[in-house]
Amino acid sequence: MAEKILIVDDEIDMLELLELIITDRTEYAVVTTNTPLEVPELLKKDSFDLLITDLRMPDIDGIELIEMVKQIDDQIPFIIITAYGTIESAVEAMRKGAFDYITKPFRQEQILLTIEKVMKWRRLQKENIALKAELERIKKGTNG
Amino acid sequence: MFIQTKKFILSIGILTVVLLIAGLIVGFYSLRYVKEIVSEQFNQQQLELATHAARQLENQFLNTIQDVTILNQSPSVQYLEKVSWANRIKITLSTMQETGVQEIGRVNGSGKTLFAVTQKQEIRVTPGSYRMQEAFLWAKKPENKNRIFLVPDDKETGTIKKPVLKVIMPTYLESADDAHPVPGHQFAGYIYLILDKEYFVTQMLKDIRSGKTGYAWAIDNEGNFIYHPVPEFIGKNAFAVRGQREAKISFDQINRIQKEKMLRGVQGTSWYVSGWHRGVRGNIKKLIAYSPVRLQGTSPSFNWAVAVVAPVTEVDEVIHTAYLWQFIMQGFIIFAIILGSLSIIGFEWQYTKTLKTEVERKTKDLQRSEEQYKKLVEGAQDIIFSATREGRFLSLNRYGANFLSGELFNPEAQVSPGTRHYQDHTVKFIGKELAQFFPLNGTFHPQLIEEIWHTGRPKTIEHSLKIGANDFWLSTQLIAIKDEMGQVQEVLGISRDITEKKKIEKQMINTEKLASLGLLAAGVAHEINNPLGVILGYCDYMLDKIPPEDKVHKVLEKIERQGNHCKRVVENLLSFSRYTEHSDTISDINLNLENVFAVVENNLMIKKIQLKKNLEANLPRVKADPVQLQQVFLNLMNNAVAAMPKGGFLMVTSRWNIYDDKVEVVIADTGTGIKKENRERIYDPFFTTKKVGEGTGLGLTVTYGIINHYQGTINLETKTEEEDPINHGTSFTVTLPVYHSKREAEKKGV
């Protein structure tokens, strides 16, 4: 089962470019939305391994979006795409728990590398969770 | 005004004196007049006294005559009856003794015997030949019947002779008695009485008082005194005796009165000079009133004269007392006037003095204030001048003269005040046109003075001014100076050098402009950044997909190259507008400069530019990102190199300004300088004087942004070759605050 990435950006061309690069160069499944307010809905319907979001959007800004996402799923990692001038916001996003940030305009190698880093970590996280669950089960088994 | 007042006061003074003198004269004349009137009145009273005395004497005499007449009617006297005649006479005599009758007697008709009774009651019968005497002969004449004959005589009483008056009355036998029942009517001699004239008159006159000390005297028809308070005069001739007594005094006046008036039976009043009065001797003026005493029934008529005299001083005293009071009063008035005048004069004098001192003080004050103003004007660090309506200098202060002659910027050329040369220095401007010194371009136009003259309202203008190679900005206030009538006399101008202010103002404007530009740039950058990101993203994707030998690949590369140029521009814009790097990096200015020198050294050699380093050792460090600082210095040095195409000097100075606690870096060249029209635009984004493609026009913009970000300042001074053919070039001064570590700050107690 391929890992799923949710990309949020108000700019449709950007969404399409990211989708194009990721689907073209990786095996990950991609879901895009240009409406940040849809994100909670999407998260509830489906499970994602990565959230990529633009920091500056008209309805809701990236930081608020992270807050919202965390309330639904506090385990999901995310990458912030930011313009050159809003590094302070990117730093804040990191504090809020963003895995990494990419400044626009970016080269495809850069984004792919970052995605790969996150996915590795995500797998480890998942594995960790699975192992912990296994351990619990064994403990129960031995006890039981 | 003052002189008029003085004249007025003087004339008033003169008038007062004249009036006072006139008053005195009038007073004197009035005194004389009053004296005359009072003397006249006094004399009239004296005349009444004299007249009254005369009447009384006349009456007394008449009474005596009547008594003798009655006696003459008595038969015992007529007939000389032996038994009774003496008794009869005695009776009459006893009643008449009061009047000074000394003796009454009869001479009989034959004229051979005289029968007399004296006041001592002696009876004498004296025989004698009386018939030949004048009295008998007169009595015998029938026409003299009932008449009286007066014979003056001297009667010896003891040793002294006394003037007496014999009163004679013819006797006729007309009465009847027992012995003579029928009267014979024949002549029977005469009856006589001897009257002591002095006594007779003295009784009447001795108690007369005129005034306090005035008295009466009397003379008989021969001019002899019959009464006078001076006893030795009595019986003496009035015309002679006075002179004998007081030879020095002329008695002409009284003698004339006696002769022409008194002895002629005239009554009247007059005055004369006497030599004495009641024991007081001297030249005494006397008032005299005289009246005749007509002894009735005498034949020939026989007159005496009574005079009442009093010294003029009598009258004078009365008047003088009154006049003394009047004079005292006048004196008081005069005194009051004089006192008033004196006090007015004194007050005026005082006032004048005060006024004078006040004027002097005011003059001194004025001089002092003038001096003060002069000092102020001369010491002022502004150009202070006054101008005529035609726009010519009337005056100019020292600073102005130094400024306008360009000597202000050449201390050796300045002249100290007080010297003749200094005078000439400021004087040489007088009369010259303002236009020679103030360029009449734009704000400072020739109509300006006329306008101020016309409206009378002050005006402030800012205008530029070129002195030598220097440009200045002046703020000139033009004020209309009016006279008392409100007419404009001259225009006062105060020009202040606001070149520095203008610079700061321009910087402020620049700062504001750049700040707003920064915001704009940030917005633009962000807006461009997104589509640029998309373009470059797709371009990147395509380059991956298309083989390099393909033509399309070349096209995509071109797109990518131009896109990247865009990207650089945007990055520069963003770095100028906003520094996101919260870098706490501390930099060593000299180290950074050396780093830049290393980069540019090669380029400088090629361009024949000599580097002159003047770096202060042990500079304090500043809080700035070294990479960015190097970018600043590199930008400035690149610009300097670009300004010196024919080579020159690049002078880099670093120093610590301990007063402001700032580090300053000066990067100066000897290049072409920045043209005047470009000076305000050098920090503007995309403004460049380089050829297209050589520069983005963002170098200084970014430099400005960086310096600004670290609370620093950047200033420039520049002169083009036209402005200063020798010392042209540009010099940028970057100032950055010194970094103090927290520990250092704590030590300082900040």
Q: How many angstroms away from the CA of B625 is the closest CA of chain A?
A: 17
pLDDT of residue B409: 66
Does A20 touch chain B if contact means CB atoms closer than 8 Å? Answer: yes
Q: What spatial distance separates the first Cα and last Cα of chain B, rounded to whole Å?
A: 75
Over range B193-198, report the average pLDDT: 85
Strand order in the sheet with B123-127: B123-127, B113-118, B101-107, B187-196, B160-172, B149-157
Question: B529 to chain A: which residues are within 8 Å by CB?
Answer: 83-84, 104-105
pLDDT of residue B668: 94
pLDDT of residue B698: 76
For residues B674 and B438, the model is more confident at B674
Window A:30-49, CB contacts with B under 8 Å: none
Nearest residue in chain A measured CA to CA from B523: A85
Q: In this structure, is the dihedral angle defined by the CA atoms of residues A36, A38, A41 and A46, taken in order, positive or negative?
A: negative
pLDDT higher than threshold 50 for residue B64: yes
* Lowest mean pLDDT segment, chosen from B29-43, B488-502, B562-576: B562-576
B580 band by pLDDT with thresholds 50, 70 and 90: very low
Over range B148-168, report the average pLDDT: 76
Tell how far CA A56 is from the center of its chain: 16
pLDDT of residue B159: 64
Between the alpha carbon of residue B71 and those of residues B138, B171, B563, the distances in Å are: 20, 10, 194
Question: B570 to chain A: which residues are within 8 Å by CB?
Answer: 84
Nearest to B526 among A11, A85, A106 (CB): A85
B581 band by pLDDT with thresholds 50, 70 and 90: very low
Does A95 touch chain B if contact means CB atoms closer than 8 Å? Answer: no
Between the alpha carbon of residue A76 and those of residues A50, A107, B529, B575, the distances in Å are: 6, 24, 28, 34
pLDDT of residue B582: 45
pLDDT digit string (tens) for B101-122? 888 999 988 888 889 888 888 8
**Cβ of B530 and A14 within 8 Å?**
yes
Query: Considering only CA atoms, which of B224, B202, B56 is closest in space to residue B154?
Result: B224
pLDDT of residue B518: 67
For residues A60 and B557, the model is more confident at B557
Rounded Cα gap, residues A15 and B162, in angstroms: 189
pLDDT higher than threshold 80 for residue B472: yes
Nearest residue in chain A measured CA to CA from B560: A107
**Cβ of B571 and A84 within 8 Å?**
yes
Residue to test with chain B: of A104, A107, A110, A111, most B Cβ within 10 A: A104
Average pLDDT for chain B: 82
Q: In this structure, is the dihedral angle defined by the CA atoms of residues B203, B204, B209 and B213, taken in order, positive or negative?
A: negative
B723 band by pLDDT with thresholds 50, 70 and 90: confident
Rounded Cα gap, residues B61 and B65, in angstroms: 6
pLDDT digit string (tens) for B204-249? 888 888 888 888 888 888 888 888 888 888 888 888 888 887 777 8
Rounded Cα gap, residues B85 and B76, in angstroms: 5
For residues B508 and B684, the model is more confident at B684
pLDDT of residue B655: 94
For residues B23 and B187, the model is more confident at B187
Question: A14 to chain B: which residues are within 8 Å by CB?
Answer: 530, 533-534, 537
pLDDT of residue B746: 58
Rounded Cα gap, residues B155 and B162, in angstroms: 5
Q: How many angstroms away from the CA of B565 is the closest CA of chain A?
A: 12
Question: B538 to chain A: which residues are within 8 Å by CB?
Answer: 17
Rounded Cα gap, residues B233 and B246, in angstroms: 13
Helices B312-379 and B2-73 pack at an angle, to 10 degrees, of 170
Question: A11 to chain B: which residues are within 8 Å by CB?
Answer: 530, 534
pLDDT of residue A99: 86
Residue to test with chain B: of A84, A88, A95, most B Cβ within 10 A: A84
B450 band by pLDDT with thresholds 50, 70 and 90: confident
Nearest to B574 among A17, A56, A85 (CB): A85
* Lowest mean pLDDT segment, chosen from B358-372, B498-512, B561-575: B498-512
Question: B571 to chain A: which residues are within 8 Å by CB?
Answer: 84
pLDDT higher than threshold 90 for residue B19: no
pLDDT higher than threshold 60 for residue B693: no
Beta bridge partners of B272: B286
pLDDT of residue B547: 92
Alpha helices (H) in B223-274, listed in sequence order: 238-245, 252-256
Over range A51-76, report the average pLDDT: 84
pLDDT higher than threshold 70 for residue B665: yes
Pair of tokens at residue B412: 């050796």
Over range B312-333, report the average pLDDT: 79
Over range A105-134, report the average pLDDT: 89
**Cβ of B525 and A85 within 8 Å?**
yes
pLDDT of residue B576: 61
Over range B5-29, report the average pLDDT: 81
Please tell me what DSSP assigns to residue A61. -
Rounded Cα gap, residues B436 and B467, in angstroms: 11
B670 band by pLDDT with thresholds 50, 70 and 90: very high
pLDDT digit string (tens) for B139-155? 888 888 888 888 877 77
For the ranges B178-192, B244-258, B658-672, the maximum mean pLDDT occurs at B658-672
B579 band by pLDDT with thresholds 50, 70 and 90: very low
Question: B532 to chain A: which residues are within 8 Å by CB?
Answer: 104-105
pLDDT digit string (tens) for B628-661? 888 889 889 989 998 999 899 999 999 999 888 8
Q: How many angstroms away from the CA of B538 is the closest CA of chain A?
A: 7
Rounded Cα gap, residues B534 and B204, in angstroms: 174
Query: Considering only CA atoms, which of B141, B73, B110 is closest in space to residue B299?
Result: B141
* Lowest mean pLDDT segment, chosen from A84-98, B95-109, B393-407: A84-98
Alpha helices (H) in B584-624, listed in sequence order: 589-606
Query: Considering only CA atoms, which of B443, B473, B446 is closest in space to residue B460?
Result: B443
What is the model's pTM?
0.42
